[in-house]
Amino acid sequence: MSGAAVPDAGTQAREDDAAALERSRRWLAEAQRLAALGSWEWDVRTGAVLFSDELRAVYRLDPSVTPTFATCLEMVHPDDRPRAERAILAALTDGGVFDLDHRVVCGDGEVIWVRARGSVTRGEDGSPLLLVGTAQDVTERVAIEARLQESERRLLEAQRVARLGRWDWDVRSDVVVWSDDMFRIFGIPPAALEPTVEGYLARVHPDDRDELLQMLADVRAGREDYALEHRVLRADGSVGWVSCRAAVVRDDDGAEVRLHGTATDVTERKLAELAAARATAELAARAEQLRRLAFTDPLTGLANRALFADRLQHALDARSPAGVSVLLVDLDDFKDVNDVLGHQVGDRLLVEVAGRLTRCVRPEDTVARLGGDEFAVVLAEAAHGEQVARRIGAALDTPVRFGDRQLVPTGSIGLARVAGGEPVPADVLLQQADIAMYAAKRAGKGRYEVFDPTMSTAVLARADVENGLRQALDRDELVVHLQPLVDVTARAATRVEALVRWPRPSGLALPADFLPVAERSGLVRTLGQQVLRAACRGLAPWLAADPGRSVAVNVSPVQLREPDFATTVLGILARTGVGPRQLLLEVTETLFLEAGPRVVGQLAELRAAGIRVAIDDFGTGYSSLGRLQDLPVDGVKVDRTFVQQMGAGPGDAAILTAMVTLAHDLGLEVTAEGVETRDQATRLLELGVDHLQGHHLARPVPLDALDDAVAAAGAAVRAAAGCPGRSGRATVQLVAGEDALGRAVRGALVRAGLAVAGPGEPPDAVVLVTARGEDALARSAALRPPGGAAVLVLCARADRATRARLLAAGADDVVVDPGCPAGLADRVRGALRTAAAEAGG
């Protein structure tokens, strides 16, 4: 071994202790550094203060600075300094330790939080010698605690604002602990809420208790989290809503220990939701109501035009192989129901019809009311169209009773159909059904017609006529032609009929070609005014030349229904200078079938002004002949069909003779139209009609050819009056006014087989009709006819002396108060025999 010295045991021990001490110091320093914990020592007697290196690092002190107790106090934040002084003083005075969290202003000016702990070492006399302690940087902990406190504060505030209550149910003791907000939710003091589940359930709405118990059972069975909204009964009697959440707490063995949860007052939100739900339901109901109003007919409950169009388009878009059929149903003469029985009955009838139509189709079909009395049906299968049309027709033919009235709502039906897959626009299909429906009306109503392409041609032609007529009226292009009417007594044309003509590229269009279109389109009012104005203006000079002349103008029933018709006519007469007695208005007999007070009143106003009224086409209407005596008319124009029947065989003129006789007996003037041959003119003269009109006499001519036509018509009648068929018959010259009595006498003479002489014809007898016998005496020239003709005087009043004076003046017979005597012809023949005997004697 070497000679190195070997340390003794004592030295080795000291070295080991020093090394251990050094390690302890290093460990302590490292622990303080890691914990941001420094130590300090204050010698109370000397005032010396020692800081550990770590404490200098915590306080950020310069190593050259020697701290003192005063400088240490100055480092404490001014707001915390009084509290620190009190804690140190208490430790020095009372002993023990002090423990204080306070802020420190570090050497670099940063403020930190430290936790200062210290203990006092005292001398034998009990006086404090040293104050030793630690100071740890707890800035981060204090900040975390502050945030936690703020969060707790905010949570409590949120719970208070949200009225969030907490509860905890100890399952083992069955005790429930409530937070204060739970009491506020229920509106009761804590003493009033029993701290059990039953106490809580007693406050739950009865309808929600079972659901709440089920929630608790589900949570206890293992459901992690459960939420339920239910109603609670408040102390003031009101009902609130809470959102309840619950969770279960179990011990280490999995046994349930307690249930805890929250109850949030959601009354305002729930009431808002319920109000919103009610508002939504009301909006939905209102939207449904608006939808029904938008797509449903309010009277019948059927689909309206908009929904019908949608259903039809949908059916066509489907391109079903079965095809689609459309039916248009228009009630016949429905306007009469409204006018006569009132709109209330009309509406009830429409509702009844709607029900019948619905029962005629299948649920998948659509029945709609398009407006007024027009209905429509969409059938999903084209093949069923005619079957449904027949079914509807039969259903409408069944009478319906309203009180003591019975109505049969017949309808005209138009059917249009499209084969499966055929691309036909909805408006085209509907137009085809409309065309077919009008074809059914023209065919007699109360039936159905299936659309045929030829129908479109007729419709287009009518549309062309209407458009052209409208333009012609706007440009005043219509013209008036005039056809003479011959006065049988005067054997001269003293009246003309104004007939409208429409110049077209193909020639002059006759009224039959366009008047029906004018009436249907409403243009006839303008047309009628233009014709009357043109006729009066053009004929004014011709009419003014002879007050006995007149013009006849046809009037449409559509015109007469206008409330200002009478005023319009009188205004045209006044502006053109034509006298009211020189105008004759011809109306159709069918007008009086539906004539209301307005029509009759206007005719009465016109007649009171002097205008005469005649029934045109007499005999073709549907009213009985007996109604003539009730109608506000002055004459009749016998339809041409009765004139054309003459010559057909025995009794060919029986009806015509009866009509003439009846009209004359009623004091009405009779005109026969459609005279095409001389023989017809001769026979009509024998029947005693008052006026003749027809192509045999004169055709309608323009105004500049009127004079020639008038002359030709008079010559034709005079030729007919002198034809061989009248030889051997007595001819009577009638001297009478144009009153009812004069016309009745003329008719009686003709019916008796006597011929009425025309101007210039030598008569066999003269019949003088007067109101009084004195009037006949004043006309003594008539009592001395040339050629020795017999004279018969008819007067309404004459005493015996006047009769004697009339006989002395040359009368062969005097009849007083004749009243159209049946034996008038015998009296005339007797006068002829007397005159012949006197001439032979």
Q: Is residue 756 part of a domain?
A: yes
Alpha-carbon distance of 608 to 632, in angstroms, equals: 11
Strands 374-379 and 366-371: antiparallel
Per-residue pLDDT at 740: 66
Pair (613, 687) in one structural domain:
yes
Range of the domain at 485: 471-721
Q: Is residue 465 part of a domain?
A: no
Alpha-carbon distance of 176 to 164, in angstroms, equals: 16
Burial of residue 367 (number of CB atoms within 10 Å: 0-12, 13-18, 19+): buried
Contact 478, 515 (CB under 8 A): no
Pair (329, 407) in one structural domain:
yes
According to DSSP, residue 465 is labeled H
Q: How many other CB atoms are found less than 10 A from the CB of residue 767?
A: 29
3 state DSSP class of 686: helix
Strands (E) across 643-742 are located at 669-672, 691-692, 731-735
3 state DSSP class of 827: helix
Q: How many other CB atoms are found less than 10 A from the CB of residue 835?
A: 19
Q: Is residue 12 part of a domain?
A: no
Token pair recorded at residue 216: 């608790």
Q: Is residue 456 part of a domain?
A: no
Q: How many other CB atoms are found less than 10 A from the CB of residue 739?
A: 11
Domain end, chosen from 451, 485, 514, is at 451
Contact 482, 499 (CB under 8 A): yes
Which CATH number fits the domain that encloses residue 534?
A: 3.20.20.450
Per-residue pLDDT at 725: 36
Alpha-carbon distance of 518 to 737, in angstroms, equals: 40
Contact 557, 522 (CB under 8 A): no
pLDDT along the chain (841 residues), means of 10: 58 64 58 67 86 86 84 90 88 81 90 90 85 88 81 62 73 82 79 79 88 84 76 86 85 83 83 85 78 81 90 87 90 83 88 94 92 91 87 90 82 89 84 90 87 78 82 91 90 92 88 84 88 94 92 90 90 94 88 68 90 85 58 86 75 78 83 90 87 93 92 87 52 74 72 69 80 78 70 82 82 72 66 62 46
Q: Is residue 19 part of a domain?
A: no
Q: Is residue 283 part of a domain?
A: no
Collect all residues with Cβ–Cβ distance below 8 Å to 654 and sequence separation of at least 6.
none
Alpha-carbon distance of 195 to 816, in angstroms, equals: 129
Token pair recorded at residue 176: 């429930």
Strands 128-137 and 37-43: antiparallel
**Residue 416: closest CA among 445, 393, 448:** 448
Contact 763, 732 (CB under 8 A): yes
> Would you give the distance in Å from CA 498 to the centre of its chain?
45
Pair (413, 438) in one structural domain:
yes
- The DSSP element (H or E) to which 213 belongs, if any, is helix 209-220
Alpha-carbon distance of 439 to 451, in angstroms, equals: 9
Domain end, chosen from 674, 699, 721, is at 721
Q: How many other CB atoms are found less than 10 A from the CB of residue 289?
A: 11
Pair (504, 562) in one structural domain:
yes
- The DSSP element (H or E) to which 371 belongs, if any, is strand 366-371
Phi and psi at residue 226, to the nearest 5°: -145, 135
3 state DSSP class of 690: coil
Pair (484, 593) in one structural domain:
yes
- The DSSP element (H or E) to which 39 belongs, if any, is strand 37-43
Quick one: three-class SS letters along 600-643? HHHHHHHHHCCCEEEEEEECCCCCCHHHHHHCCCCEEEECHHHH
Burial of residue 487 (number of CB atoms within 10 Å: 0-12, 13-18, 19+): buried
Contact 714, 492 (CB under 8 A): yes
Which CATH number fits the domain that encloses residue 742?
A: 3.40.50.2300
Pair (561, 692) in one structural domain:
yes
Alpha-carbon distance of 829 to 752, in angstroms, equals: 10
**Residue 825: closest CA among 784, 794, 783:** 794
Phi and psi at residue 43, to the nearest 5°: -85, 110
Pair (63, 44) in one structural domain:
yes
Q: Is residue 28 part of a domain?
A: yes
**Residue 671: closest CA among 462, 488, 413:** 488
Q: Is residue 10 part of a domain?
A: no
Pair (254, 195) in one structural domain:
yes
Per-residue pLDDT at 573: 95
Strands (E) across 419-458 are located at 448-450
Pair (420, 498) in one structural domain:
no
Pair (245, 340) in one structural domain:
no
Alpha-carbon distance of 414 to 394, in angstroms, equals: 15
Which CATH number fits the domain that encloses residue 260?
A: 3.30.450.20
Pair (239, 197) in one structural domain:
yes
Contact 625, 704 (CB under 8 A): no
Q: For residue 795, list its beta bridge partners.
A: 770, 816
Pair (122, 234) in one structural domain:
no
Domain end, chosen from 403, 422, 451, is at 451
Split into its structural domains, the chain has a count of 5
